[in-house]
């Protein structure tokens, strides 16, 4: 597929205020022309850096991901993999001379592992022929390890036949006897299991690793963090659901010898989730991440470290009021670098194994996708509200960064961005609430501007200083709105108490924080209080639905994929609040107090309702129920339905349509 080079003309829509739009703002079309850089991988010796780069074609609605080669010193930027065959999951050989990656090329029915020499001429050659496909590749010693979804009672030939029979079948029915049956946007096959396999790097037979142990990995979104291989290639640590009740999963970390028929549950003492096992480079320790509260996904995540010889296990971060995430071991095995959600920013922290207070390495703006070389060279992607992810090398002593790529520079060179800042206001119960405020290009404080207040989802996913493609505040601001994200009570990155303050009452604190945000803007002389709108998706759609039935200052609302009826939300792939506070038949008073549909008699605000058919997390019936309610109540409303989208609008042309619908609605 050819890289998209031409930007479609911006929509011609009347500006909502006295701002003259520039010829080149951060329009939705520009968003889809941006080359999107994924997490980098650095070679063991620290010289090479490889990262996936994805481009989209709005003519065909297709995407393409190619692997690019960069240098940790900068000055190198070239594609490694060929066009028209997307590639991903790059991993280096232990000597750094060969790159393994996954791709679906030529006659491949599923993704396979390919090997590409880096220090000698040659084309990539396919290593595997696994009919069920491969993912989450790791290269340890003489073997490459991977995850695949198999029928445990079939050999590879029988699996190939079963897959072909599925493709040829005229029956579309799916059946289940137990949970889980879906995950976000795809159905799960009850007859198949997720397991780790390995293959020699020189080629040969594929060998099962976890299958002989009789323990499968989670079927929902298995990935790189689902397992780890000891540096000597003799042991595996992996995550599995140890619960006897499929409706209440319990994720534990297991460890076993490769070739053994058994594995030990290392976390049986903790009923809450454990995961993301990581062996230390020296092979003496195993780390993993732990939570303590069942049914609270934003519970603080702590680092556990186990001495492999003695079995002694300790918690490293129990006194730290932040969640550990995005970790990589330091080469000396004395600690980690992590990408930590911290008060509206994703910062790199250094966390030692001796229990010292974690040290922030980076300052403003956000980092992720950390990868570290044997010599300590640390690379990552770096983003802010004003630029998409870029590849950088981080000085771990000073926090200084050096950019390694020039992607998107030409495209964005003449884009006029607005500005943004972080402000703090007083919210529910007198608490400080952090909020990002975005100003339009050419903002003049002497003029009155309309407000678009965005309500984030989760509810425990804070908005951090990064480039958000689906709800881009700078794009909204380019339409002539002051745009804001407030990190209301429940948001992550501000401590355990703040995150848990809205459970189980999802309404009171976030609602009051939202009204207080509107009050803060109403006090600014440059806000037109007669032109204030708000909107959000998922939990943000929930809170927008709550606004429908309560006092608020917003003239219009945008409600995307809302949790509207807490009873029928049971149809989703994940129960809301149930594991911790009970289902609606256990605790009917709670659900009557917090379900937006109970307040329909007071609905009064015009609302744009949006949803996708393939959303199995928040079923599309939630939007249909809300729209019918609004129509029955005689409230101006519009329903936008995408039959081929899920919880998010991911296809280029559908996304362009989504932005148009939102713009037209709030501009009325």
Q: Calculate mean pLDDT across residues 40-61.
A: 97
Q: What is the pLDDT of residues 102-125, one digit of tens each?
A: 999 988 999 999 999 998 778 899
Average pLDDT over residues 196-202: 98
Encode pLDDT of 398-407 as tens digits.
999 999 999 9
Both tokens of 547, joined, read: 């606004």
Contact at 8 Å (CB) between 303 and 289? yes
CA distance 178 to 140: 36
Q: In whole angstroms, how large is the CA radius of gyration of the chain?
A: 25
Please give the model's pTM, rounded to 2 decimal places.
0.94
Task: Report CA 629 to chain centroid distance, whole Å.
Answer: 32
Average pLDDT, the chain: 95
Give the whole-number percent of the chain exceeding pLDDT 70: 97
Q: How far apart are CA 511 and CA 400, in angstroms?
A: 39
- Residue 85's pLDDT band, with cuts at 50, 70 and 90, is confident
Residue 240: the pLDDT is 98
pLDDT in tens, 531-572: 999 999 999 999 999 999 999 999 999 999 999 999 999 999
| pLDDT the model gives residue 491 | 98
Residue pLDDT, tens place only, 295-335: 999 999 999 999 999 999 999 999 999 999 999 999 999 99
Question: Quick one: average pLDDT of 409-428?
Answer: 97
CA–CA gap between residue 279 and residue 303 (Å, rounded) = 13
Query: pLDDT-derived band of residue 283, with 50, 70 and 90 as boundaries?
Result: very high
Q: Which residues pair with 484 in a beta bridge?
A: 437, 453
Mean pLDDT of 481-497: 98
Residue-wise pLDDT tens digits, 122-167: 889 999 999 999 999 999 999 999 999 999 999 999 999 999 999 9
Task: For residues 275-300, give the mean pLDDT.
Answer: 97
Phi–psi pair at 215, nearest 5 degrees: -130, 125
Predicted local confidence at residue 122, as pLDDT: 80
If we measure between CA atoms, which residue out of 635, 641, 654, 585 comes closest to residue 610?
A: 641
């Amino acid at each position: 597929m050819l890289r998209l080079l031409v930007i479609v003309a911006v929509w011609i829509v009347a500006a909502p205020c006295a701002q003259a739009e520039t010829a080149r703002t951060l329009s939705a079309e520009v968003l889809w022309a941006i080359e999107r850089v994924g997490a980098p991988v650095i070679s063991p010796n620290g010289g090479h850096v490889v990262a996936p780069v994805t481009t989209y074609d709005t003519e065909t609605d297709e995407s393409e991901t190619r692997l690019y080669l960069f240098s940790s010193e900068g000055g190198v930027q070239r594609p490694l993999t060929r066009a028209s065959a997307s590639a991903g999951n790059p991993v280096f050989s232990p000597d750094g001379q060969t790159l393994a990656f996954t791709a679906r090329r030529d006659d491949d029915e599923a993704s396979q592992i390919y090997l590409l020499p880096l220090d000698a001429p040659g084309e990539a050659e396919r290593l595997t022929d696994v009919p069920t496909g491969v993912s989450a590749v790791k290269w340890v010693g003489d073997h490459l390890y991977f995850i695949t979804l198999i029928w445990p009672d079939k050999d590879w030939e029988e699996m190939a036949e079963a897959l072909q029979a599925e493709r040829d079948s005229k029956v579309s029915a799916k059946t289940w006897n137990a949970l889980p049956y879906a995950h976000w946007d795809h159905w799960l096959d009850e007859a198949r299991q997720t397991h780790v396999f390995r293959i020699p790097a020189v080629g040969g037979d594929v060998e099962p690793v976890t299958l002989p142990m009789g323990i499968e990995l989670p079927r929902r979104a298995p990935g790189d963090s689902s397992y780890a291989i000891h540096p000597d290639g003799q042991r595996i640590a992996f995550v599995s659901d140890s619960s006897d009740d499929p409706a209440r999963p319990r994720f534990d970390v297991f460890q076993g010898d490769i070739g053994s028929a058994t594995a030990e549950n290392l976390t049986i003492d903790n009923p809450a989730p454990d995961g993301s096992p990581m062996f230390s480079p020296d092979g003496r320790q195993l780390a993993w991440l732990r939570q303590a509260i069942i049914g609270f996904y934003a519970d603080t995540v702590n680092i556990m470290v186990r001495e492999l010889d003695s079995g002694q296990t300790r918690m490293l971060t129990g006194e730290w009021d932040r969640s550990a995430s995005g970790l990589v071991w330091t080469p000396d095995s004395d600690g980690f670098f992590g990408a930590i959600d911290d008060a509206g920013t994703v910062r790199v922290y250094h966390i030692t194994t001796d229990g010292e207070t974690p040290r922030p390495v980076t300052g403003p703006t956000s980092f992720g996708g950390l990868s570290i070389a044997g010599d300590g060279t640390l690379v990552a992607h770096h983003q802010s509200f004003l630029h998409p992810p870029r590849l950088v090398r981080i000085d771990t002593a000073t926090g200084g960064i050096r950019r390694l790529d020039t992607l998107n520079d030409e495209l964005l060179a003449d884009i006029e961005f607005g500005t943004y800042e972080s402000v703090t206001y007083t919210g529910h119960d007198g608490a400080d609430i952090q909020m990002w405020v975005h100003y339009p290009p050419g903002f003049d404080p002497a003029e009155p501007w309309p407000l678009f207040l965005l309500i984030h989802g989760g509810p425990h996913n804070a908005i951090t200083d990064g480039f958000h493609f689906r709800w881009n505040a700078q794009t909204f601001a380019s339409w002539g709105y002051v745009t804001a994200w407030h990190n209301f009570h429940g948001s992550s990155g501000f401590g355990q108490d703040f995150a848990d303050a809205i459970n189980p009452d999802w309404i009171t604190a976030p609602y009051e924080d939202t009204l207080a945000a509107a009050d803060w803007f109403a006090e600014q002389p440059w806000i037109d209080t007669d032109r204030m709108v708000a909107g959000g998706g998922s939990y943000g759609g929930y809170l927008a639905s709550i606004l429908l039935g309560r006092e608020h200052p917003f003239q219009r609302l945008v409600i995307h994929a809302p949790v509207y009826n807490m009873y029928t939300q049971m149809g989703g792939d994940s129960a809301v609040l149930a594991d911790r506070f009970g289902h609606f038949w256990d605790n009917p008073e709670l659900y009557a107090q917090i379900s937006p549909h109970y307040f329909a008699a007071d609905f009064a605000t015009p609302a744009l309702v949006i949803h996708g058919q393939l959303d199995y997390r928040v079923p599309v019936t939630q939007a249909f129920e809300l729209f019918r309610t609004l129509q029955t109540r005689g409230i101006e409303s519009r329903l936008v339905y995408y039959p081929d989208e899920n919880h998010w609008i991911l296809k280029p042309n559908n996304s362009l349509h989504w932005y148009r619908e939102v713009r037209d609605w709030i501009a009325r």
